[in-house]
């Protein structure tokens, strides 16, 4: 089983319709699809928390115009949630085991990802 993480905490799987496209972390940005017709969700695999290639892929997918649900799936830890959201992910899918080690409060603590970055500090 798995847990879906969003800004307001943990959720059960609630995706109900449309095509899902799974993307491997070693996909080159140039090999990403140009057309997203019929694709409701894209899941980008994270095989290890130390593998940040999925963050780059998320940026490229959003830059190419994908507006559907974008999910980071795999070994993403709470400390990376802010980066994942800023890169364009809507949510993160983690294992039940990781959710037990890093409870919802740790993820929610990082859900203020829009407010606390260097750019917002420079404005003040």
Query: How many Å is the maximal CA-CA distance in the chain?
Result: 44
Q: Which residues pair with 5 in a beta bridge?
A: 10, 92
Taking residues 101-120, what's their average pLDDT?
80
Sheet holding 39-46, edge to edge: 9-11, 2-6, 91-95, 69-74, 39-46, 19-23
At residue 71, the pLDDT reads: 98
- pLDDT value at position 1? 84
Q: Does 124 score more than 90 pLDDT? A: no
Q: What is the rounded distance in angstroms from the CA atom of residue 104 to the CA atom of residue 46? A: 20
- Tens of pLDDT, residue by residue over 25-81, are 999 999 999 899 999 999 999 999 899 999 999 999 999 999 999 999 999 999 999
For 98-109, how does the pLDDT look when each residue is reduced to its tens digit (9 = 90+)?
A: 999 999 999 999
CA 4/CA 8 separation, integer angstroms: 11
Q: Determine contact, residues 6/91, Cβ cutoff 8 Å.
A: yes
* pLDDT score recorded for residue 17: 85
pTM of the model: 0.89
> How many helices (H) and strands (E) in the chain?
5, 6
Cβ–Cβ under 8 Å, residues 30 and 60: no
């Amino acid at each position: 089983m798995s847990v879906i993480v969003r800004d307001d905490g943990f959720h059960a799987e609630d995706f109900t319709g449309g095509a899902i496209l799974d993307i491997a972390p070693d996909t080159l940005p140039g090999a990403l699809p140009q057309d997203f017709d019929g694709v409701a969700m894209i899941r980008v695999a994270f095989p290890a928390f130390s593998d940040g290639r999925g963050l780059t892929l998320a940026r490229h997918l959003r830059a190419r115009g994908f507006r559907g649900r974008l999910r980071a799936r795999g070994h993403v830890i709470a400390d990376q949630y802010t980066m994942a959201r800023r890169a364009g992910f809507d949510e993160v899918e983690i294992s039940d085991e990781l959710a037990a080690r890093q409870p919802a409060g740790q993820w929610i603590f990082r859900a203020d990802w829009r407010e606390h970055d260097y750019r917002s500090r420079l404005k003040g």
